[in-house]
């Protein structure tokens, strides 16, 4: 008999099914429902005693996703699971990882504390907004790299001159890694914000004339930064601009911004489901990556073999 059980939260069921299929283990049966006032009720419909329980749930809005995950973790612990691992493909609140002004929370640390209090033994996630968030946890964190999905696709692009671009200074390390694997140069867009989700100005550092440019980011919210960066790059003489991001939050007018932009295409993963289809967005799945990571952990083998 298998020593693990895979379960899914409500809003990540679409991805959990793919992960389970890739791993070769069916999803476990559970009941999740809500009382008339919205309170969440969770129960496992099969025994998890002595099993390694993996609960798959991204914490994209709204906050019910996070609460549902913690209730499932607590239920598994109280049902005598051997170990409980939270698989959070998109780790929400990661953008609030420090105090950048007085009297604000460090939300990423708060979520880490909540998961620890609920009884999580291990966290598996992909492309945290800031890598140092791993230090907020006092248990093992498997931080998977979305580049393992994107790089093979990017290598199939026929281009005489390929350049990787970061849409802001904070993404330089990510862009440099992509450039190294693709043996390409990279450039940086330096942006200035006056308030959240609004860009006051943007400058390009580097030469992109005659190049096919790939903008690399971990997440896209309103799409303002990525579409503005694409416009600046095209105005500097680039031949084409594509964008890749792991987590397509795509809130507000993001879909319209992307559809009306100069971008040739945008590559995203399915850590967050798309709210609607658009001709410019192509989805690559992270299911195989997470399934392989689960297998490596269950076999007590290195997860780092999955990285590029």
E strands, the chain, in order: 4-8, 30-34, 40-44, 52-56, 83-88, 122-126, 141-144, 162-166, 185-195, 198-205, 212-220, 240-248, 265-269, 281-284
Structure tokens given for 240: 């084409």
Q: Are 237 and 186 in contact (CB under 8 A)?
A: no
168 is in an annotated binding site: yes
134 is in an annotated binding site: no
Q: Is 100 annotated as a binding residue?
A: no
Annotated binding-site residue? 138: no
3-state secondary structure 114-137: HHHHHCCCEEEEECCCCHHHHHHC
- 38 marked as binding residue: yes
129 is in an annotated binding site: yes
* Residue written as token pair 């329980």: 53
Q: Is residue 96 marked as binding?
A: yes
List CB contacts of 261: < 8 A, sequence separation 6 or more: 223, 226, 227, 230, 231, 280
Q: Does 225 count as an annotated binding residue?
A: yes
Q: Was 170 annotated as part of a binding site?
A: no
Known catalytic residue at 239: no
Sheet with 265-269: list strands edge to edge. Answer: 198-205, 185-195, 162-166, 212-220, 240-248, 265-269, 281-284
Q: Is 95 annotated as belonging to a binding site?
A: yes
> Helix (H, G, I), strand (E, B), or coil: what is residue 287?
helix
DSSP state of 27: B
Give me the catalytic one of 33, 51, 101, 191.
191
Q: Has 221 been labeled as part of a binding site?
A: yes
SS3 215: strand
223 a known binding residue? yes
Annotated binding site for ATP: 37-39, 95-96
Annotated binding site: 37-39, 95-96, 129, 168, 193, 217, 221-225
Annotated binding site for D-ribose 5-phosphate: 193, 217, 221-225
The residues carrying an active-site annotation are 191
Annotated binding site for Mg(2+): 129, 168
């Amino acid at each position: 008999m298998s020593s693990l059980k895979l379960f899914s939260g409500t809003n990540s069921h679409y991805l959990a099914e793919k992960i389970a299929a890739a791993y070769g283990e069916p999803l476990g049966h559970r009941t999740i429902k809500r009382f008339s006032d919205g309170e969440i009720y969770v129960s496992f419909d099969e025994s998890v005693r002595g099993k390694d329980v993996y609960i798959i749930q991204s914490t994209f809005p709204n906050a019910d996703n996070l609460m549902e995950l913690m209730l499932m973790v607590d239920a598994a612990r109280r049902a005598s699971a051997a170990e409980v691992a939270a698989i959070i493909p998109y780790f929400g609140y990661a953008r609030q990882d420090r105090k950048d002004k007085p009297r604000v929370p460090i939300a990423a640390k708060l979520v880490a504390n909540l998961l620890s209090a609920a009884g999580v033994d291990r966290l598996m996630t992909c492309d945290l907004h800031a890598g140092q968030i791993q230090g907020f946890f006092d248990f093992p964190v498997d931080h998977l790299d979305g580049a393992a999905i994107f790089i093979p696709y990017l290598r199939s692009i026929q281009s005489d001159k390929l350049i990787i671009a970061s849409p802001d200074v904070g993404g330089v390390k990510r862009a440099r890694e992509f450039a190294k694997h693709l043996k390409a140069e990279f450039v940086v867009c330096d942006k200035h914000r006056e308030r959240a989700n609004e860009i006051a100005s943007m400058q390009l550092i580097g030469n992109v004339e005659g190049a096919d440019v790939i903008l690399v980011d971990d997440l896209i919210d309103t799409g303002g930064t990525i579409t503005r960066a694409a416009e600046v790059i095209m105005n500097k003489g680039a031949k084409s601009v594509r964008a890749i991001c792991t987590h397509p939050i795509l809130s507000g007018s993001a879909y319209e911004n992307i559809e009306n932009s100069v971008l040739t295409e945008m590559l995203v993963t399915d850590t967050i489901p798309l709210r609607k289809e658009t001709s410019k967005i192509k989805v690559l799945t992270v299911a195989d990556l997470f399934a392989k990571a689960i297998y490596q952990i269950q076999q007590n083998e290195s997860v780092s073999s999955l990285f590029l």
